[in-house]
Amino acid sequence: MKMVRAFIRPEKEQEVVLALEGAGLPSVTKMPVFGRGKQKGLQVGPIHYDELPKTLLMIVVDDQDVNKVVSIIQQKARTGFIGDGKIFISPVEAAYTVRTGEEGL
Amino acid sequence: MKEIIAIIRRDKVSETKKALEEIGYPSMSIQSVEGRGRQKGNMCAEMDSEMPESFCAGVKLKPTPSTYAVEHTLPKVALYVPKKLLTIVVPDEAVQKIVKEIIRVNQTGRHGDGKIFVAPVEAAVRIRTSETNEEALS
C-alpha cells in the first residue's frame, strides 16, 4: 500500500475528488494547510505573502492504483501556473478498518 | 519505529486518549480533518447503514459541501464528514498493542468508525536534547 499526499489549490479539490470517485477511489482525507515553495510565497505589488493556503489530500491506495491516482491529480489540479502544488508518495505497511477490526483497505 | 495514523470519530478522542494513556503511550498529535470513505461522505449511511437516504432530509447533522462547489454549481458535490486524525510514533513492538486498543475503543459497528494506517518512520529527534530515534520517543 502507498499513501499519496497531494498539496493542491483549494479551488481544485472538488474536481480532483470527483474525478477520483469516478475512477472508483472515493476515499480521501483532506485538511487545510498553509505553505510555501520554491518561490518563497507570493509577491503582489508591495505586499508579500509568505505562506499560501493549500489543501492537503491524503489517499491510501494499493500499489497498482498509485499511478492512476497521480495522473488523475495531475490532470485535474493543473493550471500551468506557479503554485499548482506537489504530490508525495510514501509507503504504508498496514491498514485496519476500525468497524470490523480487519486488516486491509 | 512506526507511525500510526488513525482517523476516528470526533467524539471518541478523549476516550482514545485515556485508553492509550493507560497502556503507557500518552503522546500523540491530533488534527481536525474532513474525510470520506466508501460511503462517499453520506452521513446517514455512517450513522445507520439500514437507513434509506430519503430519511436524511430531516437530519440536522449534515455534511458540508465546499463553498467552491456551491458557487460554481458543479453537477455533483463531493461531501465530507468531519473526523479527527491522530498521529502516534512508537517503537515497532508497540504497534500491535496500540492498534488493538484503538480498535477496541472506537468500534461501534457502524460505518464511519475510521481507518488506521501504519507507516515506517526512519528517524526521530527530540529537539530539546538532540536525542535520536527510540530515545526520543520515550
Residue in A16, A8, A10, A4 with CA at minimum distance from that of residue A37: A8
All domains of chain B in start order, with CATH: 2-137 (3.30.70.120)
In-domain check, residue A14: yes
In-domain check, residue A64: yes
B3 chain-A contacts, CB cut-off 8 A? none
DSSP-derived secondary structure for B21-68: HHTT----EEEEEEEE-TTTT-HHHHH-TTS-GGGGGG-S--PPPPHH
HSE-CB for B43 with a 13 A CA cutoff:
18
The pLDDT of residue B53 is above 90: no
Domain CATH number, residue A53: 3.30.70.120
Q: Which residue has the cell 498496514?
A: A94
- Residue ranges making up the domain that contains A83: 2-91
A101 chain-B contacts, CB cut-off 8 A? 103, 107
Interchain CB contact of B82 with A (< 8 Å)? no
Q: How far is A26 from chain B (nearest CA, A)?
A: 6
In-domain check, residue A105: no
B46 confidence band (pLDDT: 50, 70, 90): low
Per-residue confidence (pLDDT) for residue B60, from 0 to 100: 46
Whole-number percent of chain A with pLDDT over 90: 51
Residue bearing the bigger pLDDT, A56 or B77: A56
Q: What is the pTM of this model?
A: 0.82
Q: How far apart are CA B109 and CA B87, in angstroms?
A: 23
ipTM: 0.85
Residue ranges of A 23-42 with Cβ closer than 8 A to chain B: 26-31
Asked if A3 and B117 come within 8 Å (Cβ–Cβ), the reply is yes
Whole-number percent of chain B with pLDDT over 90: 41
In-domain check, residue A56: yes
Total number of domains in chain A: 1
In-domain check, residue A102: no
B99 confidence band (pLDDT: 50, 70, 90): very high
The pLDDT of residue A90 is above 60: yes
In-domain check, residue A42: yes
Interchain CB contact of B38 with A (< 8 Å)? yes
Residues recorded for chain A: 105
